[in-house]
Structure 1
Amino acid sequence: MSRIVLASTSPFRRALLDRLGLAYEAVAPAFDEIAPEGLPPAACARLFAEGKALSLAPARPDALIIGADQALELDGELLRKPATLDEAADQLGRLAGRVHALHTAVAVHAPPGVPPAPGVERGLMTEIATVELRVRPLGRAQIRRYIELDRPIGSAGGYLFEKRGPWLFDDVRHADETAIVGLPLVPLCRLLRRFGVDPLDA
């Protein structure tokens, strides 16, 4: 089995990957999240997930590298990840009482020596999981209280579902909750199997 590298030091993504029981190394990607103007949100998530995985490939030539990223879409608009608590509060205010889409991309890059499954030609494969979420109506005091509790700087939409975020929602439409947190495990397992990683095989 190839060495596995997670191109992230996020404790939330690490906690998810830990559930799969695989040995891996977590490394910060050498990648700047700069998207071309006008790029659709789902394509932005794909670009960043693949960029993170590819950024570590030269230094880890023998590893399967996992990259992941999220992009939030509201009425066709990409909402950038908030850099301050005020920006997070503003974003959550825009989402209150409305449905938005959260696109989570996961990419796996394989070294040249690892053959993919039959019929798979690329050494880099990506899947995108899209979740629809409805934020409940929220007053400014509720938003400010939530922001103070979870401090979701850098998190798409200004919330952290993996912490107190579930209090914010009326409805979530997706079968794989891990996609909301930032590393969709079912698509990831599917990609890893295509590169020969399956702990259930003897």
Structure 2
Amino acid sequence: MASIAPSRRTLILASTSPYRRELLARLRLPFSVIAPGVDETPLPGETPPALALRLARAKARAISQAHPGALVIGSDQVATLGDSPIGKPGDFGRALEQLRAMRGRTVTFHTAVAIDDGQRQASDTVLTRCTLRTLSDAALRAYLHAEQPYDTAGSAKAEALGIALMERIDSDDPTALIGLPLIALTRMLATFGMDPLDAPDGAQA
């Protein structure tokens, strides 16, 4: 007698990021996307890694409370240069300032991911260290005009032309830099009974 596939739990990505949506789609699990609406203001004295982890957990919890039984994924990323956080530049001028400050130095990206089903929560944080080449202002301007990465913390999209700015990238989870650590996430999903390799191919909900 053929075995009956177990019923699949609803999977929700608590994010408005198109990058995280594209990454999660790689796992070929059906999922929906809901904006978490979480205040991302840092708490007084909060460190960048603590901020990333708190926000990832808060995003997952915010949606899981309204969708009992669903597996909700939350993620957040904070980049730091030395002890200072680096945000999204928003425009060309601020992006150029960021890249000038970063050239020849190492930027650390703290990428946190959490899963919440309303009863329990799992979370993890992945560090990615990016060392930038020492490039001229002309090269930095050429990159910014070509890619316009103004919605990206650190002003460089390593998954695209921004890789040309890099001297090296060190991480245990290569997709963490883009915004969602899929190795950590797959491991965590398995603890909730959802493994992409056990499921038939699914289309994104």
TM-score of the superposed pair, with normalisation by structure 1: 0.88
Equivalent residue for 1:59?
A: 66
Share of identical aligned residues, percent? 38
Relative distance call for 1:81 and 1:133 in structure 2 (3 A) is same
1:90, CA displacement in angstroms?
1.2
1:101, CA displacement in angstroms?
1.0
1: CA distance between counterparts of 2:135 and 2:44? Answer: 31
- Residue by residue over 1:23-75, the C-alpha shift from the partner in whole angstroms, topping out at 9 and shown as x without a partner, is 10022221121111332111111122112212222332231110111111111
Contact 2:186 2:196 in 1 (8 A): no
- CA RMSD for the aligned pairs? 1.7
Equivalent residue for 2:30?
A: 23
1: CA distance between counterparts of 2:16 and 2:87? Answer: 20
2: CA distance between counterparts of 1:193 and 1:133? Answer: 29
1:169, CA displacement in angstroms?
0.1
**Unmatched 5+ stretches in structure 1:** 113-122
**Unmatched 5+ stretches in structure 2:** 1-7, 200-205
Partner secondary structure for residue 156 of structure 1: coil
TM-score of the superposed pair, with normalisation by structure 2: 0.86
Relative distance call for 1:151 and 1:32 in structure 2 (3 A) is farther
1:77 is the counterpart of 2:84: yes
- Residue by residue over 1:123-156, the C-alpha shift from the partner in whole angstroms, topping out at 9 and shown as x without a partner, is 1211000011100012222222212222222311
Task: Kindly provide the amino acid, as one letter, of the partner of residue 88 in structure 1.
Answer: A
- Residue by residue over 1:84-140, the C-alpha shift from the partner in whole angstroms, topping out at 9 and shown as x without a partner, is 33222211111111112111111111133xxxxxxxxxx121100001110001222
1:86 aligned to which of 78, 93, 116: 93
Count of aligned residue pairs for this structure pair: 192
Equivalent residue for 2:5?
A: none
Equivalent residue for 1:157?
A: 154
Task: Kindly provide the amino acid, as one letter, of the partner of residue 35 in structure 2.
Answer: A
Contact 1:30 1:56 in 2 (8 A): no
Structure number with bigger Rg: 2
Partner secondary structure for residue 64 of structure 2: coil
Contact 1:40 1:78 in 2 (8 A): no
Superposition map of 1:163-178 within 5 A? 163-178=160-175
Task: Kindly provide the amino acid, as one letter, of the partner of residue 181 in structure 2.
Answer: P
Contact 1:106 1:188 in 2 (8 A): yes
4+ residue runs over 3 A deviation: 199-202
1:201, CA displacement in angstroms?
4.2
1:145 is the counterpart of 2:152: no
Partner secondary structure for residue 44 of structure 2: coil
Task: Kindly provide the amino acid, as one letter, of the partner of residue 88 in structure 2.
Answer: K
Task: Kindly provide the amino acid, as one letter, of the partner of residue 171 in structure 1.
Answer: R
1:39 is the counterpart of 2:46: yes
2: CA distance between counterparts of 1:157 and 1:182? Answer: 12
